[in-house]
Amino acid sequence: MRRVLVTRAEPGASETAARLNAMGLVPLVAPALSIEAFAPEADWPPQDGERVIFTSANGVRAYVDAGFPVSVDAMCVGPATTSAAEDAGFRAIWNADGNSDALVQKITSGFETHEGAWVHYANDAAAGEVCRRLNEAGFAARFVPLYGARPTQRPVSLEQLQSGDVILLHSAKAADAVLGWLDETPVETGELLLVAVSERAAEPLKHLQWHCVSCASGPNEEKLLEALQIALKSGLSSD
């Protein structure tokens, strides 16, 4: 049976592993990133009239864990983030059904600049890029770094991969961490399949030799698992 190294951070990694089990695959859970919540500062909760922005389910969870109110409107980047926001009970929820580009487009095309401010809750690596673009479009928006995603130590399971096995990537930051693992302990990637949630997520590792590189047609887990199935059946790159 094919083994799939799941590099997604928890708790999402376990959710992905369950789906892979259902597909008849053997998941090897090896999060490339660990989530570190930061102590909230006084001005971090949303102010009156502010809508919130989430670009990952981890952002939603960090927001809720910080004790911030869910009686606000939330713009979410895609289905998984939207599902997390629905579970948390946010007042009104919009699904951009894409990436950060789609999210910015949904706000700039669907809202007026005078209709209220926005606050983006995410990991510190996001560095306020979404807010910068909204500010340039005339919207009031601010960035709150609720948590950090730090690279983990190289897992033993990386060295257990054999010909035809898969490394599954949910983000470019995870890919950077995997590259660090491979720099530390070289692995014969030429016999492995690399499956990524986007071209950007695959980019840090594409210079290596792989048996197959397959990128999802959309930035969500449904499309990622579709790309995985295509790669397993064909062994051909989706590029």
Give percent of the chain above pLDDT 90.
Answer: 90
| Helix locations, the chain, DSSP H | 12-22, 57-65, 79-88, 100-110, 129-136, 172-184, 199-202, 221-234
pLDDT digits 0-9 by tens, 10-47: 989 999 999 999 999 999 999 999 999 999 999 999 99
Calculate mean pLDDT across residues 46-58.
95
Residue 185's pLDDT band, with cuts at 50, 70 and 90, is confident
Contact 231, 166 (CB under 8 A): yes
**Residue 190: its pLDDT value, please?**
94
pLDDT at residue number 126: 85
Identify any residues that bridge with 151 across adjacent strands, giving them in sequence order. Answer: 33
**Over the stretch 139-159, which tens digit does the pLDDT of each residue have?**
999 999 999 999 999 999 999
Q: What are 76-85's pLDDT values in tens digits?
A: 999 989 999 9
Q: Give residue 128's pLDDT.
A: 85
Residue-level pLDDT at 237: 43
The 3-class SS string of 37-88 reads: ECCCCCCCCCCCCCEEEECCHHHHHHHHHCCCCCCCEEEECCHHHHHHHHHH
pLDDT band of residue 53 (cuts 50, 70, 90) is very high
Chain segment 112-123, per-residue pLDDT in tens: 999 999 999 999
Q: Quick one: what percent of the chain has pLDDT higher than 70?
A: 98
The angle at the Cα of 203, spanning 76 to 235, to the nearest 5 degrees, equals: 100
Looking at the predicted structure, is the pLDDT value of residue 3 above 70? yes
Give first-to-last CA distance, the chain, whole Å.
26
User: Using one digit for the tens of pLDDT, what is the confidence trace for 82-104?
Assistant: 999 999 999 999 999 999 999 99
pTM attached to this predicted model = 0.85
Q: What is the mean pLDDT of residues 190-201?
A: 95
Residue 125's pLDDT is 87
Residue 239 has pLDDT above 50, yes or no: no
Mean pLDDT throughout 42-63? Answer: 96
Across the range 150-179, mean pLDDT stands at: 95
Query: What pLDDT is recorded for position 235?
Result: 58
The yes-or-no verdict on residue 238 having pLDDT over 60 is no
